[in-house]
């Protein structure tokens, strides 16, 4: 990580900030087609016949929802009071979705519109165990590789942090390299793209990140593909955040004690789609407010619980009263005291 990026990261973590912070979120923008299957996928899997797999599951329900990881993260941040800048590529069918995002205080001026491709589609079926089988059509997302960050920084008067979430792989590499070159602090969040990228590409996405996000499986996959040990990964980033599902999250830094933050209670699980995106949104928002890492993970877990209780990653509603009440129940009065002065939601 370059010296300028370190200084910028330290300022974000230690100095209280409000909605004026400039955070660009690069990533996918998509429409989600979410189906549910009453049963278990595992009951239909024949392990020694997986190379000949041919399965069809009868879905009970279909919900069409707004999604895409970049858009989901922005939505969560905006619902907590920030005005994030969404950076990605869409088709000409994006007009209604754009209106929705802008109405929720998301800056969409840096979204590129393709003239020849549709907005990406995410088609996912979830079983009774909350296991998921999904297919993603990239569509216009492939044109995100043509977007440069410098004009965005010039328009905003600088960038305090760039979130590089799953997107067109070439776009992710380009944005990461530009962050290193120009000294923009960045979040590495390769998650869903780890399965498709080789070790050399993943190394380029990770090295020098202010924050590295993954779940437990993705963390192991990252280490396997790069050939790095957990210690080697940690040495290349400032803060490593690993989500652990119902067991909360783990935060690691070189030379510092490991931090474990439990999940925010036991929400009623309806659909896990977008839960990780909400965690990142809450975490990054708390960092932008200047709160410590423990609070960041707590706010991330809290926002994730709202998403888990709804179908669709942008269908939840926050109110100041409910957020603070749930925060106190999960993490105590001190957490409420730290968050309350920053929290801005659409409803009181």
Measure the CA angle with vertex 247, ends 241 and 249; round to 5°: 15
| 277 in catalytic set | yes
CA-nearest of 285, 301, 293 to 240 is 293
CA–CA dist 214, 74 (Å, integer): 18
- Of the candidates 201, 153, 159, the one whose C-alpha atom is nearest the C-alpha of residue 9 is 159
Q: Choose, from 127, 271, 277, 338, the residue flagged as catalytic.
A: 277
Give bridge partners of residue 347 from the DSSP assignment.
319
User: What DSSP string describes 205-265?
Assistant: HHTT-SEEEEEHHHHHHHHHHH---HHHHHHHSSEEEEE-GGG-EEEE-TTS--EEE--SS
DSSP alpha helix (H) spans, the chain: 3-14, 69-79, 95-103, 150-156, 169-182, 199-206, 216-226, 230-236, 275-288, 293-308, 320-331, 333-340
Collapse the DSSP code of 177 into the 3-class scheme (helix H, G, I; strand E, B; otherwise coil) and give the result. Answer: helix
Catalytic annotation, residues: 277
């Amino acid at each position: 990580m370059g010296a300028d990026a370190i200084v910028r990261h330290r300022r974000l973590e230690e100095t209280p900030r409000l909605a004026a912070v400039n955070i660009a979120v690069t990533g996918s923008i998509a429409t989600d087609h979410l189906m549910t299957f009453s049963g278990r996928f595992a009951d239909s899997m024949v392990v020694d016949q997986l190379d000949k797999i041919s399965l069809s599951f009868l879905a009970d329900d279909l919900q069409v929802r707004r999604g895409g990881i970049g858009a989901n993260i922005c939505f969560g941040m905006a619902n907590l009071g920030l005005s994030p800048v969404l950076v990605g590529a869409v088709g000409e069918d994006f007009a209604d979705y754009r209106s929705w995002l802008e109405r929720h205080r998301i800056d969409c001026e840096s979204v590129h519109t393709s003239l020849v491709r549709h907005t990406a589609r995410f088609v996912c079926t979830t079983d009774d165990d909350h296991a998921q089988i999904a297919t993603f059509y990239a569509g216009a997302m492939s044109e995100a590789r043509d977007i440069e960050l410098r004009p965005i920084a010039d328009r905003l008067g600088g960038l305090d942090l760039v979130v590089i979430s799953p997107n067109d792989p070439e776009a992710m590499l380009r944005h990461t390299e530009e962050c290193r070159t120009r000294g923009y602090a960045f979040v590495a969040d390769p998650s869903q793209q780890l399965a498709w990228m080789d070790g050399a590409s993943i190394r380029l996405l990770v090295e020098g990140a202010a924050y590295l996000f993954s779940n437990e499986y993705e963390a192991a996959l990252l280490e396997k593909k790069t050939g790095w040990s957990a210690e080697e990964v940690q040495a290349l980033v400032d803060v490593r955040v690993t989500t652990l599902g119902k067991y909360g999250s783990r935060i690691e830094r070189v030379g510092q004690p490991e931090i474990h933050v439990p999940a925010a209670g036991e929400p009623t699980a309806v659909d896990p789609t977008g839960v990780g995106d909400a965690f990142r949104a809450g975490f990054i928002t708390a960092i932008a407010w200047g709160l410590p890492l423990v609070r960041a993970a707590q706010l991330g877990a809290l926002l994730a619980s709202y998403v888990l209780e709804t179908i669709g990653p942008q269908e939840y509603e926050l109110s100041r009263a409910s957020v603070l009440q749930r925060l106190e129940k999960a993490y105590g009065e001190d957490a409420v005291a730290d968050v309350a002065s920053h929290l801005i939601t659409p409803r009181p």
